[in-house]
Amino acid sequence: MKRTHYCGEITKNLIGEKITVMGWVNKQRDLPTVIFIVVRDRTGIFQIAVSKENADFYSMAKTIRTEYVVAATGTVIARTIENVNPNMPTGEVELDVTELRILSESEVPPFQVAEEDVGIDLRLKYRYIDLRRPEAQKIMFLRHKTAQVARKFLTDEGFIEVETPVLTKSSPEGARDYLVASRTHPGQFYALPQSPQLFKQLLMISGFDKYFQIVKCYRDEDLRADRQPEFTQIDIELSFVDMEDVIEVNERMMKTICKEVLAKDIKTPFPRISYNDAMERYGSDKPDTRFAMELHNITNLVAGSDFGVFQGAIDSGGSVRGILAENSAKMPRKQIDSLVELVKQYKAKGLAWIAINEDGSLKTTLSKFFDEQKLQAIVENFGGKPNDMIFLCADKNEIVLDSLGALRLEIAKRNNLVNSDDLNLLWVVDFPLLEWSEEDNRFYARHHPFTAPMDEDLPLLEKGENLQNIRAKAYDMVLNGYEIVGGSIRIHQQEVQKLMFKTLNFAEEDAEKGFGFFLEALKYGTPPHGGTAWGFDRLVMLFTGADSLREVIAFPKVKDASCPTTHAPSVVEPSQLAELGIIVK
């Protein structure tokens, strides 16, 4: 028997034709004179009918259970009017079976494919069954289509796909590397790439001009809903370009993907917002602009008060800021307390609030410290109306912005302010090149050490002055509050790259040890270049409305970076470790 048709392809146009279908049993219904079996494959479901008159196959059909794999040959016939299923694409027809085979039996599965309320742990343990669900397969098909559209777009634009090494050199910057011991070089290790960053820059030095790769990357870091230890990115690099060139081609690529994958037209060019404005207005460098609720800075308005929390923050160089939650004045105390706990996760000490009653009177935690006139001035600053509620936070600027940024998203979620069908795209630009770590008492690269500073800010880097004010030629594309594309114009001059390493507190020998091969390459005619890296898994997650990256990766890792299906990582044989010269303590 050879399959002639997929289940979801069979319509009344095939009535009278002899066909063969194969797939998994979705359901079996045993009637006195006929057994109906609904067969499922990746395209959909189709009903086959085994008549009692067909004695041998009728007996076989009685033994068939859910998730058996079967093959059936027969003639496509129209269902009787009373048996037509309008909710099923193939519901007007069925197969009058003349031959039936059981290709594979199945034990009772740990959950039914049609079941909706199945815990994520169980689904991922039996991911191969979970992936039989039409919803899961739909995600994987969309992922495939997105990759194909991206690949075709870039190929048509003159980019060449080049594969870069997976076993590479450990980097002293960035997240923790996954290390791979070398048998042939005892005591030495490869690292799995966090990004093909240096290789794609070497390809620009090689003269390839336009490169792309849909590539696996690895970072040994703690997991979140939108993070995985191994992930896929669409990696892009171009030569002889400036920031505008890179942004323009990436916008057109996103427009093409949205059109061909989602059938949605998006407007270009995308809005742009500076990093500082994004933080001041939304408390985030990846703002969700599908709703307003912008931050207000009332530091000057409340300065000089008797409220120690506010004044202490101001005196130490911090600020007092807040957000207005419309129609939230009657929020239960339990919900307010949960919001307080939320901001504490971002190191805030708490929240003050002002509720505006229906009659315009105020209920607030600040009544002991501010008179009615001052409270009304605060309300006026926020544009507050009856039934609105204002939340205020005071602390160091970084803590206040992070806390209110998270609070803003949580309130929007609770109040259903977001239309999930919207696609709000924007660029965040003018990032700081460097960020200061109080813990390590040094600067780190905001993106990575190969990002170029703005030309007009280069003198600050050369003089080592006001380093916190240096802006980067960096740009992030944000979709609905998620960074989906990050990129920059790269440093292409060896002396500037060396200066960058020095600014990041690299000793000359450390820079040579970690990046000597790259510094050497910069000597031999490096074109100006820049590019981007697309978070491919994250993009698919947003396109499909999935709750986490786990839903859009065929076999994902879970919170402790293990694989529930294969039970990786695992202990290996002592002989394998001995070959590598490794002892596990």
Domain of residue 231, CATH code: 3.30.930.10
Residues 157 and 236 in one domain: yes
Residue 558 domain-assigned (yes or no): no
Non-local CB neighbours of 409 within 8 Å, separated by 6+ positions = 288, 481
Find the radius of gyration of the CA atoms of the chain: 30
Query: 91 in a domain, yes or no?
Result: yes
For every one of its 585 residues, what pLDDT tens digit does the chain have, with 9 covering 90 and above? 999 999 999 999 999 999 999 999 999 999 999 999 999 999 999 999 999 999 989 999 999 999 999 999 999 999 999 999 999 999 999 999 999 999 999 999 999 998 988 999 999 999 999 999 999 999 999 999 999 999 999 999 999 999 999 999 997 667 899 999 999 999 999 999 999 999 999 999 999 999 999 999 999 988 776 689 999 999 999 999 999 999 999 999 999 999 999 999 999 999 999 999 999 999 999 999 999 999 999 999 999 998 999 999 999 999 999 999 999 999 999 999 999 999 999 999 999 999 999 999 999 999 999 999 999 999 999 999 999 999 999 999 999 999 999 999 999 999 999 988 999 999 999 999 999 888 888 999 999 999 999 999 999 999 999 999 999 999 999 999 999 999 999 999 999 999 999 999 888 888 888 899 999 999 999 999 999 999 999 999 999 999 899 999 999 999 899 999 999 999 999 999 999 999 998
Q: For the beta carbon of residue 297, count every other beta carbon within 10 angstroms.
A: 15
Number of domains in the chain: 3
Residue of 429, 527, 431 whose CA lies nearest to 477:
429
Q: Determine the length of the chain.
A: 585
Among residues 363, 389, 414, the one where a domain terminates is 414
| Shared domain check, 269 and 331 | no
307 burial level (CB within 10 Å; 0-12, 13-18, 19+):
middle
Are 455 and 482 members of one domain? Answer: yes
Q: Is residue 280 part of a domain?
A: no
| 307 and 269 both lie in a single domain | no
437, two tokens: 């770590």
Structural contact between residues 126 and 108, judged by C-beta atoms closer than 8 angstroms = no
The answer to whether position 583 is within a domain reads no
Give the DSSP per-residue string, 24-52: EEEEEEE-SSEEEEEEEETTEEEEEEEET
pLDDT at 420: 85
Tell me how far apart the alpha carbons of residues 24 and 35 are, in angstroms, rounded to a whole number.
Answer: 16
**β 69-78/18-30 pair status:** antiparallel
Q: What does the pLDDT read at residue 173?
A: 66
Domain match, 386 and 473 both? no
Whether residue 83 sits in one domain with residue 176: no
Distance (Å, whole) CA 533 – CA 499 = 25
Do residues 68 and 157 both lie within one domain?
no
Token look-up 């939320």 returns: 342
Q: 144 and 226: one domain?
A: yes
And the tokens for 199? Answer: 């290789």
Q: Say whether both 257 and 295 belong to one domain.
A: no
Q: Quick one: three-class SS letters along 359-379? A: CCCEEECCCCCCCHHHHHHHH
CB 125 within 8 A of CB 565: yes
Tell me the C-alpha distance between 437 and 495, whole Å: 25
CA 520 to chain centroid, in Å, comes to: 35
129, part of any domain:
no
Residues 406 and 430 in one domain: no
Task: Compute the distance between CA of residue 352 and CA of residue 343 in angstroms, rounded to an integer.
Answer: 12
The C-alpha atoms of residue 117 and residue 127 are separated, in whole angstroms, by 15
What's the confidence (pLDDT) of residue 221? Answer: 86
Task: Flag whether 75 is in a domain.
Answer: yes
Helices (H), 448-488: 458-463
Out of 83, 104, 125, pick the residue that ends a domain. 104
In a domain, 559, yes or no: no
Residues 204 and 310 in one domain: no
401 and 449 in a single domain? The answer is: no
**Dihedral over alpha carbons 508, 512, 513, 515 (to 10 degrees):** 120
Tell me how far apart the alpha carbons of residues 160 and 318 are, in angstroms, rounded to a whole number.
Answer: 49
- Among candidate residues 431, 526, 531, 435, the one with its CA nearest the CA of residue 473: 431
Final residue before a domain boundary, out of 54, 86, 104 = 104
Give the domain range for residue 269.
136-273+425-553
Can you spell out the DSSP letters for 140-206?
HHHHHHHHHHHHHHHHHTT-EE----SSB---SSSSPPPEEE-SSSTT-EEE--S--HHHHHHHHHT
Rounded to whole angstroms, the Cα distance separating 193 from 368 reads 57
Residue 529 lies in a domain: yes
Provide the CATH number for the domain around residue 318: 3.30.1360.30
**CATH number reported for the structural domain that contains residue 49 in this entry:** 2.40.50.140
Please give the single-letter amino acid code of residue 539.
Answer: L
